Amino acid sequence: VLLNLLRGAGIHGAAGIGEPHRRPLLGLRRSETRALCAARGLEPLDDPMNGDPRFVRNRIRHEVLPLLAEVSDRDPVPLLARHARQAGAAAALLDGLVDDVDATDARSVAALPPDLARLVLRRWLTDRLEGRPPDAAAVDRVLAVAAGTDRAAEVAGGLRVERSGGRLRAVPVGGATDGGR
């Protein structure tokens, strides 16, 4: 969760690892997994990379979390886990709102609260960029197109978004329209 926040992730990143990733022991502390192994006569395996300070996730685990515990005089891990669950619930709610919007209807998008419009456009663009999310500046450029401030905007991946007849269309830069896809 902290690493995602440091990367600038939004509400979805604050939710931590999502459901598609099967991590049945994720909620257990290292001491708990070691105790489970000991109770079953198993020797736990330690990946030496998990202690390598060259990786930011390890510095968070070994330096930042202990410092947070010291400063707050409490264990930050359950608090972060609760925050991740709350962020996940909020993200699911937002996803439901995004699902209800036709991202190609420029007027509908422009009428939304700006933050919701950005989420709608971010998802629409991510789908068109083969799963690569656009940066915030690209989303804002496309929001300006939806609002009618600009007629077109280029985003990463050689994609251009145009507004015509109240509809947004994603087209390859210098190419033919994709009909909004």
DSSP assignment of 7-18 equals: TT--HHHHT-S-
Strand partners, 155: 159
Distance CA 154, CA 141 (A): 8
Helices (H) and strands (E) in the chain, counts: 9, 3
* pLDDT greater than 90 at residue 26: no
Strand partners, 159: 155, 172
Averaged over 155-173, what is the pLDDT? Answer: 94
Distance CA 88, CA 92 (A): 6
pTM of the model: 0.70
* pLDDT greater than 60 at residue 169: yes
Interval 119-134: pLDDT, tens: 999 999 999 998 888 9
Helix (H) or strand (E) holding 168: strand 167-172
* pLDDT greater than 90 at residue 86: yes
Look up the CATH superfamily of 2-95: HUPs (3.40.50.620)
Distance CA 77, CA 31 (A): 13
* pLDDT greater than 70 at residue 181: no
Q: For position 3, what pLDDT does the model report?
A: 87
Q: Which residues contact 38 (CB under 8 A, 6 or more apart)?
A: none
Q: Residue 38 is which amino acid?
A: A
According to CATH, where is 3.40.50.620 located in the chain? Answer: 2-95
DSSP assignment of 53-106 equals: TTSHHHHIIIIIHHHHHHHHTS-HHHHHHHHHHHHHHHHHHHHHHHHTS-TTBH
